[in-house]
Amino acid sequence: MEIYKACENRYDTMEYRRCGKSGILLPAISLGLWHNFGSVDIFDNFIQIAYTAFDNGITHFDLANNYGPAYGSAEENFGRILKKGLGAYRDELIISTKAGYDMWPGPYGNWGSRKYLMASLDQSLKRMGLDYVDIFYSHRPDPETPIEETIGALADIVHQGKALYVGISNYNAKQTENALSVFKSLNVPCLIHQARYSMFDRWVEPDLLQLLENKGVGMIAFSPLAQGLLTDKYLHGIPENSRAAKSTGHLQTSQVTAEKIGKIKLLNNLAIQRGQTLAEMALAWLLKDKRVTSVLIGASSVAQLKDNLKALHQTAFTPDELQEIENILK
């Protein structure tokens, strides 16, 4: 394979949004490596996805210690992609990783202790061949570890220069408030909160979104397509090459219910009326809210990624369209 050279026009079409009250702008669409970049996946496919992303202004790539499968293999593969040429653009990239879920055996390879977070980040840096990541996250709140310990470890990681910024993921509004007060006491800002948010999962709407806006923290929405449900993929059953069909996929066939398919069909009709695919409309629907800094998509092909990028062509909705969506989602 030839050495990668990025497209010269890569910054022409992407929209960038300020991440909370920070100096960082994130692309409205970011790419996550949870699925499709593991040791079970095809290198030539995912390297093209990564290159196409960067060629289209996606500067933000999101990982976690255990993305794969196997655990760690997405980081290793991303390290290979960096070595193949993307790494020449390191200063144009925002690379994030996380620790908080199961990673290695024994009491120190899970949750939110200082021991786990520090060791895990060192391992992640090694796997990716990096000196630092741009964002390091506590991947989930740990009910057993004092929040001062978890957030204190994040703050020290910033002081060590191993992450430029830090964030939290999957913390509810109350847990977020507690975490933010510890960040404040340590004089280290929390850059961003990463939370699941899509038309099918709106738990952030009642309080978290506004809390983050008020506190000047960015918000990146993961699984914005509900792992592929909010696309035209499942309109006629579960295709063989889909996440729901794969044994390594986190979307269970039990989640593809008749009720969901009914809603997907109605949403798909509306998307067609708007001149979009359902995937484009589902992303646009999130991006209409300026409190959402970025939508963090996954893609199993270059074609999907290109489809998703087109969401940016039309993020405005008429009041009637918004009402129709509410009626469908009820």
Say if CB 141 and CB 175 are below 8 A apart: yes
**Residue with tokens 């899509």, as numbered in its chain:** 198
Q: Pick from 242, 268, 293, 294: which binds ligand NAP (CB under 6 A)?
A: 242
**Buried-exposed string 222-244: b where 16+ CB fall within 10 A, e elsewhere:** bbbbbbbbbbbbbeeeeeeebbb
- 59 or 169: whose CB is closer to ligand NAP? 169
At 288, phi and psi to the nearest 5?
-65, -20
Of the candidate spans 27-35, 105-113, 145-153, 182-190, the one that interacts with ligand NAP by CB under 6 A turns out to be 27-35
User: Does 194 interact with ligand NAP (rule: CB under 6 A)?
Assistant: yes
Whole-number minimum distance, CB 263 to ligand NAP, in Å? Answer: 15
Instruction: Find, among 258, 271, 261, the residue nearest to 233 by Cα.
Output: 261
Residues 296, 276: Cα–Cα separation, whole Å = 19
Q: Which of 171, 224, 264, 311 binds ligand NAP (CB under 6 A)?
A: 224
When asked if residue 304 is in the footprint of ligand NAP (CB under 6 A), the reply is: yes
Residue 26 binding ligand NAP, by CB under 6 A? no
Of positions 24, 29, 33, 190, contacts ligand NAP by CB under 6 A? 33
Beta-bridged to residue 220, according to DSSP, are 194, 294
For residues 15 and 88, which CB has a smaller minimum distance to ligand NAP in the complex? 15
Cβ(260)–Cβ(225) below 8 Å: no
Q: Could you say whether residue 308 binds ligand NAP (CB under 6 A)?
A: yes
Applying CB under 6 A, which part among 203-211, 256-264, 300-308, 315-323 lies near ligand NAP? 300-308
CB of 123 to ligand NAP, least distance (A): 18
Name the residue nearer to ligand NAP (CB basis): 182 or 283: 283
Cβ atoms of residues 124 and 63 within 8 Å: yes
In the complex, the smallest distance separating the C-beta of residue 256 from ligand NAP, rounded to whole angstroms, is 11
- Count of residues binding ligand NAP (CB under 6 A)? 30
Q: Which of 222, 256, 285, 294 binds ligand NAP (CB under 6 A)?
A: 222
Q: Is 124 in the site for ligand NAP (CB under 6 A)?
A: no
Choose, by CB under 6 A, the member of 171, 285, 298, 311 that binds ligand NAP. Answer: 298
For residues 169 and 139, the answer to whether their CB atoms sit within 8 Å is yes
The strand pair at 192-196 and 218-222 is best described as parallel
Contact 283, 202 (CB under 8 A): no
Which residues on adjacent β-strands are paired with residue 99? 138
CA-angle at 163, arms to 166 and 158, nearest 5°: 75
In this structure, are residues 312 and 15 in contact, taking their beta carbons and an 8 Å threshold?
A: yes
Residue 52 in tokens = 């196409």
Asked if residue 52 binds ligand NAP (CB under 6 A), the reply is no
Stretch that binds ligand NAP, among 84-92, 126-134, 177-185, 303-311 (CB under 6 A): 303-311
Give me the residues that bind ligand NAP (CB under 6 A), please.
32-36, 62, 139, 169-170, 194, 222-228, 231, 233, 242-243, 279, 296-300, 304, 307-308
